[in-house]
Structure 1
Amino acid sequence: MILTSLSREYVKITVDYPLAAAKAFSGLSDSFNFVYVSGEGVCPTYRTTSSFIFGQLTRTQATQEPGRFTPYYGRIKGECEAALIELSKKYPSLKPYSVRPAFVDAAYDPPTLASVMQRPDFTVGKRLLFGTFGPIIRQLYSKGVSPTKDLGRFLTDLAKGNGQPLTGEGVSGNGWIISNAAFRREAGL
């Protein structure tokens, strides 16, 4: 895969900016909780300078081997998750939580839903998909849903919390990577 200017921009926004922010913020206090919103289906990967130029992520660079159907965002966000954990080894004050929500659902959060519906990128097609598949996902795969109010509260609590790694099923990366299932459990859903 050759990186386009759009995919380079995605890497800049999704990896470079969060890493720069985490590094800068880590010196603000003796313990700084950094919360990165990742996504379910992410596969941590690493890239070398040469492989980045060509957009290749090799199996030997992967901390988990991404499958051929692992989406691009999954590889890139996974790279940031892994880099944040590595950064925390250099800056011990940094507590880098990465949360992996799944279907982020604003259906029961009217102010957020109204805001989402007014976004220019929320096209008619997306509205139809959300309106059609949202209820189906909520009914048949509720464990894959991340309600916005609960997710927002959870992310805020992590940022304000004690900076300790989490434990339990669905938590990986030595307690710093929280799956949607772990988020739902911690949020009491």
Structure 2
Amino acid sequence: MHLVLTGATGLVGSAVLQQMIVTPTVSKVSVLSRRPVAQAEGHEKVKVIIHKDFTSYSPELLGQLKDVDGVVWAQGISSTLVSKPEYEQITNVYPLAFARALSTTTSPKPLNFIYVSGEGATPTPSFLTQHWARIKGITEASLLSLSKDPAYSNLRPISLRPGGIDPTFHKEVHEFIPKRTGLMGLFEKAVLPVVRTGLPSMLSPTKDLGRVLTQLAMGDGKAHSEGESGVSGEGRTLSNVAMRRLAGI
């Protein structure tokens, strides 16, 4: 299978890339990245495509992706690091632009599009909803709506909402993941150990998360049953509860 990955230099993306590399049925991985990806070096089945503008995709680039089976969109950034307009651009505009472009390129072949959202995201925000949660929820709903448009009917979106990202026991990616500083660094040093002991169900271990995201990208693209725990959005939104259930943890 040929899979596409964005955000490969980030915490979640590194975990997904490691899983894609070790999965025998993944024959090719195309990584879209603004900069070189050290983790991809030495792996023949991984091709890094340096791409700067995630609102636009040339015919030449799309031609390299015409046989793609699935996408894991792990590109993202903390809402504390950028302005609200920039966060909306990265979190909403970029994935939707790629989903439209790639769906058109691969049509009529089904295209699994796995969007990494976040626990707390909601498509029905209130005045108390944080900006990041509202934007991720809008993106979830927009991808679902896009798949109902006849022009993009081959699109099979799944939005997965991880909880607290925990790379502690995923040694294969430690040298590649960005060093956490500030509040995120404090979370990793002071909060993660406590939550891991007392409330492990709130966490998303990166090894398990990377495996589930890769499996979803390789899957049949069908909606999950809303009768299952942690499933919503017409069967196309999976919470951290659902992720852990799929991972068997």
TM over 0.5: yes
Given that residues 165 and 176 in structure 1 are in contact (C-alpha distance below 8 angstroms), is that contact kept between their aligned partners in structure 2?
yes
Deviations 1:141-183 (A, max 9, x none): 1111101011011101111111111121211111110000011
Aligned to 1:181: 241
Given that residues 35 and 158 in structure 1 are in contact (C-alpha distance below 8 angstroms), is that contact kept between their aligned partners in structure 2?
yes
Matched, 1:142 2:200: yes
Deviations 1:72-123 (A, max 9, x none): 110000000000000000121000100000001000012323433x53xx22
Aligned to 1:72: 131
What is the DSSP-based 3-state SS (H/G/I as helix, E as strand, rest coil) of the residue aligned with 1:108?
A: coil
Aligned to 2:87: 10
Q: Which amino acid aligns with 2:136?
A: K
Matched, 1:115 2:188: no
Identity fraction in percent: 43
Once residues 144 and 184 of structure 2 are traced to their aligned partners in structure 1, the CA distance between those partners, rounded to angstroms, is 34
1:186–1:125 Cα change, 3 Å: closer
Matched, 1:95 2:156: yes
What is the DSSP-based 3-state SS (H/G/I as helix, E as strand, rest coil) of the residue aligned with 1:174?
A: coil
1:76–1:106 Cα change, 3 Å: same
Identify which of structures 1 and 2 has the higher relative contact order when contacts are C-alpha pairs closer than 8 Å and 6+ apart.
1
1:125–1:172 Cα change, 3 Å: closer
Matched, 1:160 2:218: yes
Task: Give the CA deviation at 1:131.
Answer: 1.5
Once residues 125 and 94 of structure 1 are traced to their aligned partners in structure 2, the CA distance between those partners, rounded to angstroms, is 37
What is the DSSP-based 3-state SS (H/G/I as helix, E as strand, rest coil) of the residue aligned with 2:148?
A: helix
Task: Calculate the aligned-residue CA RMSD, in Å.
Answer: 1.6
Structure with the largest fraction of helix: 1
Once residues 138 and 162 of structure 2 are traced to their aligned partners in structure 1, the CA distance between those partners, rounded to angstroms, is 17
Structure with the largest fraction of strand: 2
Q: Which amino acid aligns with 1:104?
A: I
Q: Which runs of 4+ in 1 moved over 2 A?
A: 64-67, 111-116, 124-129
Q: Which amino acid aligns with 1:140?
A: G
Once residues 92 and 122 of structure 2 are traced to their aligned partners in structure 1, the CA distance between those partners, rounded to angstroms, is 14
Deviates more, 1:132-141 or 1:77-86: 132-141
What is the DSSP-based 3-state SS (H/G/I as helix, E as strand, rest coil) of the residue aligned with 2:204?
A: strand
Aligned to 2:117: 38
Once residues 11 and 107 of structure 1 are traced to their aligned partners in structure 2, the CA distance between those partners, rounded to angstroms, is 30
Aligned to 1:25: 102
Task: Give the CA deviation at 1:125.
Answer: 5.4
Give unpaired runs (5+ residues) of structure 1.
45-63
Given that residues 43 and 66 in structure 1 are in contact (C-alpha distance below 8 angstroms), is that contact kept between their aligned partners in structure 2?
no
Aligned to 2:73: none
Aligned to 2:190: 132
Once residues 134 and 218 of structure 2 are traced to their aligned partners in structure 1, the CA distance between those partners, rounded to angstroms, is 28
Q: Structure 2 length as normaliser, TM-score?
A: 0.62
Which of 141, 158, 170 is equivalent to 2:230? 170
Once residues 134 and 167 of structure 2 are traced to their aligned partners in structure 1, the CA distance between those partners, rounded to angstroms, is 26
Q: Structure 1 length as normaliser, TM-score?
A: 0.80
Once residues 131 and 114 of structure 1 are traced to their aligned partners in structure 2, the CA distance between those partners, rounded to angstroms, is 17
Q: Which amino acid aligns with 1:89?
A: K
What is the DSSP-based 3-state SS (H/G/I as helix, E as strand, rest coil) of the residue aligned with 1:75?
A: helix
Deviations 1:45-80 (A, max 9, x none): xxxxxxxxxxxxxxxxxxx24251x22110000000
Give unpaired runs (5+ residues) of structure 2.
1-81
Aligned to 1:81: 140
